[in-house]
Structure 1
């Protein structure tokens, strides 16, 4: 872990003053060597009705956001910013999928505010913010913050593989909107570089799904397979990427 921390720190230092392609390559490398951090964060959320592969996808998006948003000039370790950012992305995913017991609107709004400031506070403090830190920063009572944090246990998201009420497609097929991390063109290029080493077909599947906003059914129509086959292909591709991230051999960007 210390090697990864030091390499990450040196890469952020190297990225200072660079622009365009060179900076993207460095950011790509930072994403690569920290993908296991994302999967570790995702592991904490297993068993809540969302598949491992879906959780990992959300965690990777959170990692890209963290790499793009980290300011090394503040002097704190990258992981103190990345871990809360990734966890916030995972909790946001659950929140957006539905609640078994919907809390009061004021609590939902406060939870959204907490998700928005956790990463910033983590970098400022050099650690994960405590409830008292959040209450002070947001100017609310500690009891309200505790209620909002407790509300994160109220959700019971439907599986993305579950059919819609019409039974014609999976719920995941309706989640075609591109994640906020990909609204930034540089972030899209950064993650695209991580996909080097995949076959042209594999790259196209990921590009259509994450960058093009295609549903699994639409991807299937594009490449000539069924929606179920697309789901399996996506899972296999992501499994290969995870395997490569944990392999001490050559990097994907080599």
Structure 2
């Protein structure tokens, strides 16, 4: 059902001069600009349909038809509310969708006995849904709502104290101004880091590290760390070996000598050196694993 057809059923017509300073009138002005209806038509049609909805049984086909017509004829409310977030053009489709959810909730909750026009009743619900959408999706990492709200309060308090003190406020001063503990201030400051995230490929702001991306400054586990732990654990085990076996290990792994060179230096065969090394390494490996 179009707004014009519904108007014909109500039997009202007329032109109003609107004041765009009011959200209600601005909403109706949108309808006028689009050539859909006058201010009086939009208000009177909605009022008539809400009165009709009250006497219909919920769940019936007629009830659903009137309800859907109310939603469609008041979609201008959603578009008007979305203008407040025009700076988020890339999210406009999502904004309109959540705003429509708010409109549906407003239609289901509205009662003509409230004594207010439907736009006046619906706008807070529609805008509330949009703000909830931003609260739930704007943070890079989801944090509790308490911390999200505390971040906003802390930002305001920080600006106010910085103006008063002519310096950045301390944690204690922020806690006193907000009436919370210092631990809560620190928690909020940590949580605030989760609001936005940057690519690790982005260039750092450090003037001394110009042209260096964050990924190049990330710490990694030193592959030699495990070797240090193994050497520390092997040290007392090697000390228990006979002198010749310790010498062979030192020449093989410390001086990087071949088995042939070790054999020539000690006056024994390369095959003997190989057997001694194998036996020594097996003993050390067994002792090391058994202690772990």
Bin the TM-score by the shorter chain: 0.3 to 0.5
TM, length-normalised to structure 2: 0.35
Highest CA radius of gyration, 1 or 2?
2
Q: Which of structures 1 and 2 has the larger relative contact order (alpha carbons within 8 angstroms, sep 6+)?
A: 1
State the TM-score, normalized to the length of structure 1: 0.40
